[in-house]
Structure formats: C-alpha cells, structure tokens
Chain A
C-alpha cells in the first residue's frame, strides 16, 4: 500500500485526476449523445454546488432556486436578442439581477425572522410569482416562449456562444471546477465559519457576536449570483426559454437532488451526486426505451423514492462515507445530523 500520509495532498491529487479525466475524455470519444449527457451532469453539479453554499454551509433551505437560473437565462437572452449584447457581457448583468433577487428574498425573509420551512415556502412563492409574471411578459415572449436566433454574423463561435455542444461542455467544466474552488476558498475564510456557526445554532452565533442577518444574507446573495451563469449557459445551449420550464417548481427540486444525494454541506457532494444521478436517469430512460415502455413519470418516481431513502437512511449523503473509505477529508464534511 502506498498510502500517502497527507489526506489533503491525496485529495488534491485525486481531484486533479478527476478534473483531468473530465477534460480529456471528449478528445478520445467523440460521441454527441455522451457529450449531451455530460453537459447535463455538469450543469446539475454546478447549480447543486451553488445551492449547497446556502443550504449546506449556511443552513438556509431554498426550494425556489430555479428563480435565479431563470432570471439569469432571461436577462442574458434579452440583452442578446433585444440589444445585441453578447453573453460574455450579459452574464454579468445576469449575475447582478440574480444577486438582487437573492438580496430581496433573503433580505425580506431574514429581516423579518422567516425561518426553516417558512423560508423555504417564501422562496417557492417568489419563484412561482415570477413564473406567472413571465408568462404574461410579452417583451420576453410570454408563455409562448423566447427564442434565440441560431445564426451569428461571422464572429468566432465562442464570442456569442453560438458553437457546438463541446464548447458548452468545456464552458460548464470550467464553471463547475471554478465554483468548487471558489466555494472551497470561501468556506475556509471567516465568512465560511460564520455560516457554519449560524447553521449549527443561530442563537449561539448571535450571542458570540456574529451579525446573523448579514451572514445569512451573504449566503443568499452569493448562492443566487453563482447560480445565474448556469441559466445563461442553458439559454445559449438550448436557444429557447419557457417560463413553465425556466421557473417551474419541479426544476427547483431537481436542482437540489444532486447535493442531497452526494452530501449536503460537503464540497464534493454536489459533483458526486450529479455524477451518480445523471447517468442513472439516462440509463433509466434508455432502459425504458429499449423495453418500449412509455411511462412518463417513472423517472420522477424513482427520483422521489431515492430522495426519501437518502433523507431517511443516509442523511449525510453518499460522499462522507466514501471519503472516509478513500482516506480523504472533505474540507467541509459535516458531522451527521444531530
């Protein structure tokens, strides 16, 4: 056994290897289907990471996170379609809009002491309110949908993100890895420690001099801002947006499955969750197709069962026990629920 003595170093090596595999495999295997699955996987890993920042580290349950995806997507798409402003500038506007929405929701909720389940309902209410509002917003296509033009005027494909799927794959890979490193850096800073203090015991955190309101608000705003680029990528990858999809509650729930399965409050959990769930969902779809079974809803049923089983039997997720098995310490691995 060549057990490296330093788990942190081992973790860096393994993560580097993991990132390298993700970066290199499409060069060898040029398969459109696999690339599309991998895009979905990385997308869920990224939004899961952003959601986990708020729920996993600061302990604030948001069930309306699709709001920030939708706002990001519509902002960048509107700038592109109506004003000809490309996504590389649009993404900053998208981040600003989502951060503002996060500040409003967090500000209202935390200022008035809306906690736990009530806060979760507040996030749902805002997302649903926005969904119905966008259904009636004709400037952005309303319920009939908002479409991005496919052609572009000769510029480089990456300038306006009018390129092949592989372009989006690498974009998402950079975004996912960047988010991981950013979250790792933030939770090692005083803010990250304040988040976890508030998560564990809000009253005790307040008593020890932490400004609970600002600490929670920072989590809500950061989480919202970091979710928005996923919306921009989604808009330019699919080229169409519908309020009923962009802001749907079931989207919010799909977004939180990966971090819950992987491990709430861990850094690698959201990525692992997406790596497990996306291929599982695809396998299920393919299996049903092969058996010529047409049952809409079966996949969601399986996800539902999985959610119940994980929450009941493995509340800390798959990653913490796996990390122990590998002899690794996730910088943020939390102790199992009290």
Chain B
C-alpha cells in the first residue's frame, strides 16, 4: 500500500480521534472534580448526535449551529441528572456508583431506541464531499471542521477552568473538597455545574460526530467504552491526556483498519486498554493516585 494512502488514513483517523478526545474530556472533567465515573457518557453523546439530527431534519441546521443548542440542552439535563441522582452517589462505594450509572445508561440508550428506532440516521451537509489538499494529504472537509471545532471547544473549557473565577472554584473543589467547603464554596452546586459541563461537552462532541458518521442508539455503549479507554490511556483527570488519548485511539483504529480488518479495529483499542490498565494504571499523562 502506498505511503500516501497510509498517511491519509492516519490523518483522518487522528481528526476523528480529536472528537473522541473531546467526548472523553467531558468524562475526565466529571471524574476529576466529583470522582463520579459516568458510565452513561456515551449515551449522552449519542443523545447529542440525535439532537443534531433533529435540528438538521427540522430546521436544516448545520451540526455546527446545533452545537450551542445541544450543548445548552445537555448542560441542563446533566445538571438535573446530578441534582436528582448523581448527588446521592458521591462518596458511595465505587461499585454502587458504577451500577447506578449502568442503570442510567440502560434507560438513556433504550429511551433513544424507543424514540428513534434502531435505524441509522445521518446529517447531510452541502460540503460533505469537499476536501482540502495539503501536499500529499487529502483531508475531508467534514473531518477537518469536526477536529478543529473539537480543539476549540476543548480550549474553551480549558480557559474556563484556568481563567474564570467560577472555573477556579471548581478546581478548588477538585483539589480539596473539605477545604472548598471551609472557605464557603457551594460545593454541591459546583458539582452539578461540572456534571452539566461534562454532559454538554459529550453532547457537543456528539454534534461534531454527526459530520463524520451516521447515528443509531447502539453506538452508545461503544462510545462509553471508547471514552473510558481514552481517558484511562490519557489518565483520568488530565485534559491534555484526554485529547492525546483520543488522537492515539483514532490513529490506532484507523491503522488497524488497514493492517487487520476494519471490523477488528476496536479490538486494538481494547488491547491497548488492557495493556495500559495493567502496565500504567494512572495513564500516560496522569499522576499516580497515591
């Protein structure tokens, strides 16, 4: 196989990986702050994808236009989910958290199945077949837009946490919950905010994903697992790690698609996950827990 072809496949895999990375970033933010493992993350992402599809079908909206709308809607959903359910799980034994969120994932996924049916649905954008030519590379416009937007949203999230007072307060909760309470921070509300933000980011990643793939409810568990794989590779709680892990998985899956068979590509990410869990459980960019 000519080198250019491999390079092209790797590049488009990397761009898709950026969107995976953005979704994983949402997972990582929630865990980093409230230590809750959101097993329903892929389900939220797929809900975001359906949001983009509905807006495209109903209003002819571009997925990029859907981004703020879906983001806001899922921020609200995430906030309510936290107030109604997740709040009770903070500090509970890990297996209880995990199992409750497995239940939430079942409800969301099957809810989507009941609402939209099992068939794949897609968004058609006018620039679907455009491409940029950079040297030997031929990059799909949709992938470039999706990957670029993912970087922008991640940068925005990063700026929020670093530059705003609210973001600093959230980080204070993450560093020392008791200390944050002592200085009078509304820890509960900041947790709800974080869960909302994590869900919004997942939903936005979902909107961007509709540029690249068609959506059906059964994607959700795969995305949840991909999110965990990426976050564990990058290190739970590390923002750079999530994006880098996303690109790594995107690349690995794309290349596995050529070397092995396309249907075997997620085998590679599970193999990577097993390897990282065993060899470096805190991930490539994370710090050891203790």
Please, which residues of chain B bring their CB within 8 A of the CB of A260?
99
| A235 on interface, CB distance cutoff 8 Å | no
Is the beta-carbon distance between B114 and A295 smaller than 8 angstroms?
A: yes
Residues in chain B near residue A305, CB distance under 8 A: 103, 107
**Is the interface on chain A under 10, 10 to 19, 20 to 34, or 35 or more residues?**
35 or more
Which chain B residues in 82-125 approach chain A with CB under 8 Å?
85, 88-89, 92-100, 102-107, 109-111, 113-114, 118
Set of chain A residues within 8 Å of B279, measured between Cβ atoms: 112
A residues in contact with B109, CB < 8 Å: 297, 300
A89 at the interface (CB under 8 A from B): no
A108 at the interface (CB under 8 A from B): yes
Interface segment out of the listed A5-13, A80-88, A129-137, A218-226: A129-137
Q: How large is the interface on B (under 10, 10 to 19, 20 to 34, 35 or more residues)?
A: 35 or more
9-residue interface stretch from B132-140, B203-211, B267-275: B267-275
Q: Provided the pairs A129-B274, A132-B267, A132-B270 are in contact, do residues A307 and B106 lie with their beta carbons within 8 angstroms? A: yes
Q: Select the stretch in B152-160, B181-189, B193-201, B258-266 that faces chain A.
A: B258-266
Residue of A whose beta carbon sits closest to that of B105? A304
Known: A128-B266, A129-B267, A305-B103. Contact between A315 and B278, CB under 8 A? no
With contacts A112-B279, A121-B277 taken as known, whether A298 is within 8 angstroms of B114 at the C-beta atoms is yes
B98 to A61, Cβ gap below 8 A? yes
Chain A 293-309 near chain B by CB (<8 Å), digits 1 or 0? 00111101101111110
Contact in complex: B113, A337 (CB < 8 Å): no
Q: Is the CB of A118 within 8 A of B277?
A: yes
Asked, given contacts A132-B264, A136-B263, whether A55 binds B270 with beta carbons under 8 Å apart, the answer is no
Contacts of B100 in A (CB 8 A): 307-308, 311-312
Asked if B167 CB lies within 8 Å of chain A CBs, one says: no
Among B111, B114, B274, max chain A CB count under 10 A is at B274
**Chain B CB within 10 Å, residue with most, of A121, A295, A303:** A121
Q: Which residues of A contact B266 (CB under 8 A)?
A: 128, 132
- B281 at interface by CB-CB < 8 Å: yes
- Let me know if A122 is at the binding interface, CB within 8 A: yes
CB distance from B144 to the nearest CB of A (A): 30
A276 to B109 alpha-carbon distance, docked (Å) = 24
* Given A113-B281, A121-B228, A136 contacting B261 (CB threshold 8 A): yes
Tell whether, in the assembled complex, residue A249 and residue B221 are in contact, meaning their CB atoms are under 8 Å apart. Answer: yes
Nearest-neighbour CB distance to chain A for B24, whole angstroms, equals 13
**Are A128 and B225 in contact, CB atoms less than 8 angstroms apart?**
yes
Which residue of chain A lies nearest to B98 when distances are taken between CB atoms in the complex? A117
Contacts of A109 in B (CB 8 A): 277-278
Tell me what chain A mostly uses at the interface: helix, strand, loop, or mixed: helix
| B34 nearest CB across to chain A (Å) | 14
On whether the beta carbons of A337 and B102 are closer than 8 Å, the reply is no
Contacts of B267 in A (CB 8 A): 129, 132-133
| Alpha-carbon separation in the docked complex, A135 to B261 (Å) | 11
> How far is it, in angstroms, between the C-alpha of A304 and the C-alpha of B99 when the chains are bound?
10
- The answer to the question of B37 belonging to the interface, with a C-beta cut-off of 8 Å to chain A, is yes
Compute how far the CA of A55 lies from the CA of B98 in the bound complex, rounded to whole angstroms. Answer: 13
B30 at interface by CB-CB < 8 Å: no
Cα separation A306 to B106 with both chains bound (whole Å): 10
Within 8 A of B (CB), among A39-66: 55, 59, 61, 63
Any B CB within 8 A of the CB of A250: yes
Q: Determine the distance from Cα of A249 to Cα of B114 in the docked complex, in whole angstroms.
A: 20
Q: Please report which residues of chain B, range 20-50, place their CB below 8 angstroms from some CB of chain A when the two chains form the complex.
A: 37
Is A37 an interface residue when CB atoms closer than 8 A count as contact? Answer: no
Kindly list chain B residues whose C-beta atoms are within 8 Å of the C-beta of A118.
232, 277, 281
Given contacts A301-B106, A304-B103, list 14 more A-B pairs with CB under 8 A. Answer: A108-B278, A109-B277, A118-B281, A120-B98, A122-B274, A125-B225, A126-B274, A129-B274, A132-B266, A136-B261, A136-B264, A298-B114, A301-B111, A308-B85
